[in-house]
Amino acid sequence: MLGSFTLHSDGATVPLGVDARRVVAYLAVHPRPQSRAGLAADLWPGGPAASAARLLTEALAAVDVPGLLEGAEDESAALSLSEDVEVDLSDAMLLIRAFAGGGRLDERPHVDLLSEDILPSWTSPWIAVERERFRQLRLSALEQLVGKLSEAGLHADAVEIAEIAVAQAPSRDSARRALIEAHLAQGDVVAAVAQYDAYQELLRSSIGGPVPAGMDNLFPPSAAWPVMRGFRRPTQRSAVMLPQLRAARPAGQGGVRRLVTGGSVPGR
């Protein structure tokens, strides 16, 4: 379910038709037993209920995998996947709940299950809702994991996990905060400031807005911190901008214009 739909049985990949695949995917995303009427209405919305019911019956008949479905033989029974069917999405949800719980970590856990969306190429309304819900949950879990890793002193792992969250949602405020905090916990103020500047540039170029208020409060008072508590001296920029490059000397003051990356201009 994560990344793409694949059904395996006894070590072999099982092909399914389009409608049969949709039924199995729906039941994988909704682990509780589903009424046939509700399932048919979600999978084939906008048409007559009788037509949707007929399409569901045909799709169930096309799922020729023994032991995969519960209730398929009884037209009055609710439908679900069999209890012994393993679903990667269910495993990911267990991981999310584990990260939300208390306790410390002794080592970095595997987070591969939290790096993919639910069936990203599918466009049905029912899957779009579940995809966004899972996306928010998994990103939040990654951010919580960053804090746990930092508390355990596993700073390199915390930074790596935070970078995964930022790569998946570059404009997400909480993901960027987690990365900045991970760098600061590691003692790498330069990297933290670079992330702040990169985020500010991203927001300026995408929505024309500043970094959310209060993010600069993550940094301890220091002359090295280029954003002086809510005040940024405007910098004249060249006509062609490169990411994270700024002028060391404004135009019109003579001398050669230098471009530096990251934080403030030395001596200013």
DSSP state string for 28-95: HH--S-B-HHHHHHHHSTTS-HHHHHHHHHHHHHH---TTSEESTT-TTS-BEE-TT---HHHHHHHH
Q: Does residue 227 carry a pLDDT above 50? A: no
What pLDDT shows up at residue 225? 52
Lowest-confidence segment of 32-36, 170-174, 242-246 by average pLDDT: 242-246
Instruction: Copy the structure tokens of residue 135.
Output: 């996306």
Q: Are 77 and 94 in contact (CB under 8 A)?
A: no
Q: Does residue 105 carry a pLDDT above 90? A: no
What pLDDT shows up at residue 209? 77
**Residue with token string 């048919």:** 40
What pLDDT shows up at residue 230? 39
Q: 53: helix, coil or strand?
A: helix
Q: Does residue 114 carry a pLDDT above 80? A: yes
pTM for the complete prediction? Answer: 0.78
Instruction: Copy the structure tokens of residue 63.
Output: 């799922």
What pLDDT shows up at residue 223? 56
Compute the C-alpha angle 87/51/75, nearest 5°. 55
Looking at per-residue pLDDT, the higher value among 240 and 173 belongs to: 173
Q: Are 244 and 206 in contact (CB under 8 A)?
A: no
Instruction: Copy the structure tokens of residue 228.
Output: 């002086």
Instruction: Copy the structure tokens of residue 209.
Output: 């807005």
What pLDDT shows up at residue 219? 79
Helices 155-168 & 173-186, crossing angle to 10 degrees? Answer: 160
What pLDDT shows up at residue 258? 39
- CA distances, 230 to each of 71, 126, 226, 235, 246 (Å): 61, 43, 10, 15, 19
Q: Does residue 250 carry a pLDDT above 70? A: no
